[in-house]
Amino acid sequence: MSATGTWPVDFETAPWHPADHFIDGAWVPSVGTARIEVTNPATGEVWGSVPAASDEDLDAAMAAARRAFDAGPWPRMRPSERAEVLRRFADEVESRAAALSLTNTRENGSPVAETGGAAANAAGILRYFAGLAPHLEREDVRPFPNGVGESVVRRDPLGVCALIAPWNFPINLVVIKLAPALLAGNCVVIKPASPTPLSIRHIVEAARAAGIPAGVVNLITGSGRTGDAMVRHPAVDKVAFTGSTEVGRKIAAACGELLRPVTLELGGKSAAILLDDVDLDAFARVFVRSCLRNTGQTCYISTRILAPSSRYDEIVDTITRVVSEAPQGDPLDPGTVFGPVAHRGQYESVLDHLASARAEGARFTTGGEPLPGPGLFIAPTVLADVTPEMRVAREEIFGPVVTIQPYGHVDEAIEIANSTPFGLGGIVFSADEERAFGVAERVDSGSVGVNFFASNHAAPFGGRHDSGLGVEYGVEGLEQYVAFKSIHRRA
């Protein structure tokens, strides 16, 4: 199927008008007249556009969320009642799987091998959090240590949550915020990233079809200026953001000034430590998923490969072979592994990092060049003989590039892994899982895998240092969306 081929969805008859925002349970015309074009990075085709929200549009969305929270039924329902709606929501999302996949792929070039699972993953997140309703309903009574009384601990919804999403996973990086926010009883205003404003509309339609009351879920589209205005809007009680560390710092500063709760999932520069007993055949089978997922445009992937000197050449040859043999091209082809870079600005950034690698003496074992044609394709690249001071060893590249650095002793590998300001992911590969687990415990990161990496809906995911604040997933992720209240009484 070509990148402009047919698919089982007709965008001309989609259940929204391209000039609309979703506010107070309906698609409503934008007050703002400016437009944001949507470009397919695989073809260069401008295939859609959405409105850039005006201040009036933002105010309307925030007012709808505020009314729904202050006077609507959603915050006053029992968590188990909200959970039933979330389960219907999950069913509705799954029924839109093909449309979600195509829209996502046409927006950011993620191969359908990746986006084809977006609906199922989103539905799984919704069902997982629905299953946490008993946590919010349980009687949490805690005796005073001195025996004079007891405290009833309540978990109340926070209010109106601003959810600001990135372009690399425009569905699931919204849903991991939306699901706990809704279960806790909050109302939300969502703003997707400007390159990927259309796929999230399928999620909003699924929410409406599931019976979520008007005003509980609102969607506006706009630029970074719109996101900044959301963060500072007086109606907002909580901000959740996934994106770059640079933008995250600005959001953190604004929320600090306003004393507004914030969750930030930011950049990473994670390391894969290969121990000297690594099974390279097993490593090769999970390498792309663990270290170059989504054409390298994934926050937690381990793009720094730390290889023992005793097996360095063997490891470089294995990685070079795996990367060079993985198909790149049409993201609508189910066999494609590497698609284009998602948008022009990121494409130029990746090429700039590759230029710095050449200037600083890295060895290119495969790739390293832009491909001809209208799309934003860069050949997947392996950089060997990288040293810690090189720019590509220190900065998040966010493209189809991995670096390989040698180390002598495992203590040196851990030191290199912990040498960046980030702390998001990481992997340790070894034939001895107990040994690998011991090394993983020494990696200064929010999540570390042993011989693979995957997010677990039931376990907290978050970064340390420049990789963010707070966590998503798990009971801990749910509690980012509640306000605690202790009611003290005599026993």
Catalytic residue IDs: 265, 299
Phi, psi of 342 (to 5 degrees): -70, -35
Rounded to whole angstroms, the Cα distance separating 27 from 25 reads 7
Task: Give 435-443 contacts, CB < 8 A, sequence gap 24+.
Answer: 435/275, 435/277, 436/275, 439/273, 439/275, 439/410, 439/413, 439/414, 442/414, 443/271, 443/273, 443/414, 443/417, 443/418
Phi, psi of 338 (to 5 degrees): -110, 125
Three-state SS sequence of 226-293? HHHHHHHCCCCCEEEEECCHHHHHHHHHHHHHHCCCEEEECCCCCEEEECCCCCHHHHHHHHHHHHCC
Please state at what angle helix 79-94 crosses helix 118-130, rounded to 10 degrees.
170
423 closest CA partner among 302, 242, 297: 302
| b/e map 162-178, b = 16+ CB within 10 Å | bbbbbbbbbbbbbbbbb
- Rounded to whole angstroms, the maximal C-alpha distance in the chain is 76
Query: Residue 49 pairs with which residues in a beta bridge?
Result: 37
What angle is formed at CA 311 by the lines to CA 305 and CA 314, rounded to 5 degrees? 80
Q: Cα separations (Å) of 140 from 149, 152, 157, 276, 488?
A: 14, 6, 16, 49, 12
In 273-408, which residue ranges form alpha helices assigned H by DSSP? Answer: 280-291, 312-325, 344-360, 391-394
The one-character DSSP state at 464 is -
